[in-house]
């Protein structure tokens, strides 16, 4: 330290006794504050751990996930495309998760039941679709990175119809105002219900999706993986591919789609995971 | 003649002591997450150590009771780990940003950012500490080795945030993820930066113990007792 720097050092006191005494006093105060800090941390940890459980999480943690959801929702999922890859990047297909896949499906007898449809033009509330109905929609192939919530990922190729096109053709019920009149589209986006619920034919596996992610241009009703029809363990005959979400939301073997304004139940959210699961 | 000298400003002490439990929660919850896909190895040339061996997640595990030590139980807790991680990263980020802002605005950065002498000085410090060199180099608040270590830890903190965001929101922040070389690379970096904290922590604790009570008390009270002559007024 130069003499100049020394001049800048704040002096509290001089004189041996005085300095020692003063230091002890300051130490006592600071260490008491420190002890209070440690007690606060231990207490806070205990407090969080002992709160009422909300879907397998203490409510402060569940609330934090919901606040994060609101925060990231402002970065509109529909405004960002998941990166796509060259076919050479395609990896092997890891099979993970078999809930709801107990009963193999024959594509010729399988039906997709859709409920919560628009009835304002005299149409039915509920319809059943064959795989050919989905295949008759414009087909898209995307090569995206499938990311499991466990932390692994593989680049895969998917082919299917966009959910947004499916909804455009078979419109979900349009939200209404207080007089029961349908709400007009906002910036070209129809006033669809806020959520989409999907479940396997046996209802064992189910996911809830926000409408914004469901309308994302890369969200596919998918029937082909890596150039081949879906195998049973990958969700034949029709599964969801939604690259803006973790794998848990990419439900295999869709049996039922329901449009609703109530946040749908979600299999893994009930086990303590984030309902939103947005990437 | 003993006198009291100010060493660490109040703000720095707050940032330091808030960061300690917050980073602890981040590393702990990070382990709960990492367990679900623990793919990394430490390659030592002759041997490759899997990070982490099973006993690490659940020491003292007994099949009969299906339980290990309750205080160190890191397996099958992915959902819980993610929930803690995505709450506490906000505190880590805000505390870190305020800390760096304070360093910049207060001019304290001059004490930490390595200067051109720092590497040479760091070598001298290490030689001195290994008893290979008699005199320790002259220093200000921090010696060259400390400057490099403390500055690195700030860079690593920024690295944790950046790589963390890249794996947390690889679609919303796809530009960032691809800038880092992709999702898998970002996850790899995020993990190894954390390992870096653990190495830093061990050395830091050893050095604090070696430096003694007066120095440690300095980080708590902000002041140290010195034997030096008081400067001339």
The ipTM estimated for the assembled molecules is 0.90
The string of DSSP letters for B80-147 reads: HHHHHHHHHHHHHHHHHHHHHHHHHHHSTHHHHS--TTHHHHHHHHHHHHTTSSSSPPP-SSS-HHHH
B78 touches chain A (CB under 8 A): yes
Q: What is the pLDDT of residues A142-180, one digit of tens each?
A: 999 999 999 999 999 999 999 999 999 999 999 999 998
Provide the sign of the torsion angle of the four alpha carbons B65, B70, B74, B80, taken in this order. Answer: positive
Are B177 and A148 an interchain contact pair (Cβ–Cβ within 8 Å)? no
Half-sphere CA count of A47, side-chain side, radius 13 A: 7
What percentage of chain A reaches a pLDDT higher than 70? 93
- Say what the pLDDT of residue A62 is: 97
Report residue B232's pLDDT band, with 50, 70 and 90 as the boundaries.
Answer: very low
Q: From the CA of A68, how many Å to the nearest CA of chain B?
A: 8
* Beta-bridge partner residues of A57: A54
CA distance A239 to chain B (A): 21
pLDDT, average across residues B10-28: 96
User: A108 pLDDT exceeds 90?
Assistant: yes
Listed range (A233-247, B48-62, B181-195) with the worst mean pLDDT: B48-62
pLDDT of residue A30: 92
B197-213 pLDDT, tens digit each: 999 999 999 999 999 99
Measure the N-to-C terminal CA separation of chain B; round to a whole number of Å.
16
Q: So what's the pLDDT on residue A7?
A: 45
Structure tokens at A209: 């999706």
Query: What confidence tens digit (pLDDT) does each residue in B117-172 have?
Result: 888 888 888 888 888 887 777 677 888 889 999 999 999 999 999 999 999 999 99
Place of tokens 């969700």: A235
pLDDT given at position A74: 80
Using CB atoms within 10 Å of the CB of residue A156, give its burial: 0 to 12 exposed, 13 to 18 middle, 19+ buried.
Answer: buried
Please, what is the average pLDDT of chain A? 92
pLDDT of A247 higher than 90: yes
Average pLDDT estimate for A89-95: 88
Q: Residue A271: list chain B partners with CB under 8 A.
A: 79
Query: What's the fold here for domain B3-226?
Result: Fumarate Reductase Cytochrome B subunit (1.20.950)
């Amino acid at each position: 330290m130069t003499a100049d720097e020394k001049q800048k050092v704040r002096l509290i006191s001089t004189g041996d006794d005085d300095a020692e005494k003063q230091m002890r006093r300051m130490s006592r105060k600071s260490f008491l504050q420190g002890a209070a800090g440690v007690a606060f941390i231990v207490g806070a940890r205990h407090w969080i751990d002992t709160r009422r459980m909300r879907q397998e999480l203490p409510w402060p943690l569940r609330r934090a996930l919901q606040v994060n959801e609101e925060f990231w929702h402002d970065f509109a999922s529909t405004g960002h495309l998941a990166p796509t890859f060259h076919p050479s990047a395609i990896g092997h297909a890891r099979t993970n998760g078999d809930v709801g896949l107990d009963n193999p499906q024959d594509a010729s007898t399988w039906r997709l039941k859709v409920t919560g449809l628009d009835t304002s033009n005299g149409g039915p509330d509920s319809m059943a679709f064959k795989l050919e109905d989905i295949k008759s929609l414009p087909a898209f192939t995307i090569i995206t990175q499938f990311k499991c919530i466990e932390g692994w990922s593989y680049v895969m190729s998917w082919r299917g119809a966009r959910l947004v096109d499916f909804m455009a053709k078979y419109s979900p019920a349009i939200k209404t105002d207080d007089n029961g009149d349908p709400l007009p589209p906002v910036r070209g986006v129809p006033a669809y219900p806020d959520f989409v619920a999907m479940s396997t034919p046996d209802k064992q596996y189910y996911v809830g999706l926000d409408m914004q992610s469901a309308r994302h241009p890369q969200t596919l009703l998918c029937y082909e993986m890596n150039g081949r029809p879906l195998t049973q363990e990958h969700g034949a005959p029709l599964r969801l591919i939604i690259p803006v979400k973790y794998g848990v939301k990419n439900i295999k073997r869709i049996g039922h789609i329901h449009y609703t304004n109530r946040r749908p139940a979600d299999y893994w959210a009930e086990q303590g995971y984030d309902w939103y699961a947005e990437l | 003649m003993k006198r009291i000298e100010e060493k660490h400003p109040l703000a720095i002490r707050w940032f330091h002591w808030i960061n300690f439990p917050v980073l602890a929660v981040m590393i702990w919850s990070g382990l709960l997450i990492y367990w679900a896909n623990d793919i990394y190895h430490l390659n030592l040339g002759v041997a490759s150590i899997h990070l982490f061996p099973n006993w690490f997640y659940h020491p003292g595990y007994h099949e009969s009771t299906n339980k290990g030590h309750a205080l160190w139980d890191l397996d099958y807790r992915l959902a819980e780990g993610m929930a803690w991680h995505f709450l506490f990263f906000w505190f880590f980020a805000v505390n870190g940003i305020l800390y760096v802002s304070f360093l910049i605005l207060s001019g304290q950065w001059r004490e930490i950012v390595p200067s051109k002498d720092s590497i040479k000085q760091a070598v001298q410090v290490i030689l001195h500490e290994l008893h290979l060199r008699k005199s320790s180099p002259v220093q200000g608040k921090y010696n060259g080795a400390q400057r490099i270590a403390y500055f690195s830890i700030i860079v690593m903190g920024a690295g944790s945030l950046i790589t963390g965001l890249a794996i947390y929101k690889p679609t919303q922040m796809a530009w960032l993820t691809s800038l880092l070389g992709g999702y898998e690379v970002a996850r790899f970096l995020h993990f190894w930066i954390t390992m870096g904290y653990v190495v830093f922590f061990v050395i830091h604790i050893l050095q604090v113990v070696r430096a003694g009570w007066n120095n440690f008390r300095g980080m708590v009270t902000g002041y140290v007792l010195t034997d030096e002559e008081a400067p001339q007024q």
